[in-house]
């Protein structure tokens, strides 16, 4: 039954015919990627300016959600009753891990949006990685928790999709209702780049198994596991001092002061955008593109294909906003 009395089969046919004549059918909405920067965010040799970073974060999130205020934007990400997990990347220690200042800013805004601190969990693979990056490991439930998967444990049943079979972090499956993904913009010596999609390797027990063939199709398949696909609501990529070569370990000689954050609800669009930023810097430095060194991140296109549909890697369907 037609629930809309103003719509008829004839009018629908007319609309389809008009679309055919114009050479295009309904155009899908674009995926928005916001690049927010401040050249004074981290003066040479100095620590990150927390006030400036909070401003950079506010501009990114408010623009992404087209909200009237940063707090209004955060209210759209999670409800006060939900537990929000912040998936950080701490593999590189203090050199090139998710900024502790960024995590503090996100926690501040979540609480101002009504999420109690007891409902915020910062997590990664290992307690030792969190500590090496400067986070205070704690599982106390009366405060913000910082916990590695080695402490919280993994599920005992495999989660399977396509080429992957993995045990998932209990922090992800049993604790978190929503996840804000906080990766770092950097080169990866095996899979090309590591940002939104690759950071979720930190949710499985056997990531080392899936680095062959430059991570394709494994990175995309890991992101299809239901708890990951269903719970990750936002990615904010730390691009304060990204790295264009030598990653994922910290190599300061290949880092540069981008002084920004990249935010999107589409992890594929974010990864494509970040990949292009890295390629541009490699070109500026006279370093070959990743394709030439057999590290092109083909998993980004895989994540966008008809089977995965995790987002878009089509630049014509990405609305890039630079502020």
**pLDDT higher than 70, residue 158:** yes
Q: For residues 193-222, give the mean pLDDT.
A: 98
pLDDT tens for 113-156 read 999 999 999 999 999 999 999 999 999 989 999 999 999 999 99
Average pLDDT, the chain: 92
Ordered by where they begin, the domains of the chain are: 31-322 (3.40.50.11440)
Q: What is the pLDDT of residue 29?
A: 85
Lowest-pLDDT choice from 13-27, 80-94, 245-259, 279-293: 13-27
pLDDT tens for 247-280 read 999 999 999 999 999 999 999 999 999 999 999 9
How much is the pTM? 0.91
| Helical ranges in 137-266 per DSSP H | 149-152, 170, 196-199, 218-222, 226-231
Can you give the length of the chain in residues?
323
Render the burial of 170-195: b for 16+ CB within 10 Å, e for the rest. Answer: bbbbebbebbbbbbbbbbbeebbbbb
**pLDDT higher than 70, residue 235:** yes
Q: What is the pLDDT of residue 45?
A: 67
Q: Provide CB contacts within 8 A for 137, sequence distance 6+.
A: 127, 130, 131, 146, 147, 148, 151
Q: What is the pLDDT of residue 307?
A: 98
Q: What is the pLDDT of residue 44?
A: 72
């Amino acid at each position: 039954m037609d629930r809309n009395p103003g719509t008829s089969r004839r009018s629908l046919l007319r609309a389809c015919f008009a679309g055919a004549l114009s050479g295009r059918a309904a155009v899908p909405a674009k995926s928005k990627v916001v690049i927010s920067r401040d050249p004074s965010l981290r003066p040479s040799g100095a620590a990150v300016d927390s006030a400036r970073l909070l401003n950079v974060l506010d501009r990114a999130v408010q623009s992404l959600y087209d909200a009237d205020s940063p707090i209004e934007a955060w209210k759209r990400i999670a409800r006060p009753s939900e537990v929000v997990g912040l998936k950080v990347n701490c593999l590189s220690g203090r050199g090139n891990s998710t900024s502790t200042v960024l995590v503090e800013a996100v926690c501040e805004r979540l609480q101002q949006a009504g999420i109690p601190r007891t409902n915020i969990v910062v997590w990664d693979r290992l307690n030792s990685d969190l500590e090496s990056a400067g986070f205070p490991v704690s599982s106390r439930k009366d405060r913000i928790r910082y916990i590695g998967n080695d402490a919280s444990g993994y599920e005992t049943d495999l989660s399977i999709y396509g080429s992957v079979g993995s045990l998932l972090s209990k922090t992800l499956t049993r604790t978190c209702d929503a996840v804000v993904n906080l990766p770092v913009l950097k080169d990866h010596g095996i899979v090309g780049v590591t940002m939104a999609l690759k950071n979720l390797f930190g949710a499985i027990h056997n990531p080392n198994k899936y680095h062959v063939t430059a991570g394709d199709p494994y990175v995309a398949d890991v992101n299809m596991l239901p708890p990951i696909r269903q719970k990750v609501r936002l990615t904010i990529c730390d691009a304060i001092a990204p790295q264009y070569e030598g990653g994922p370990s910290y190599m300061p000689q290949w880092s540069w002061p981008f002084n920004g954050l990249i935010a999107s609800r589409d992890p594929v669009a974010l990864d494509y955008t970040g990949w292009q930023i890295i390629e541009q810097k490699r070109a500026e430095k006279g370093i070959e593109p990743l394709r030439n060194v057999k590290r092109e991140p083909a998993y980004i296109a895989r994540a966008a294909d008809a089977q995965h549909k995790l987002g878009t890697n089509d630049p014509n369907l990405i609305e890039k906003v630079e502020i």
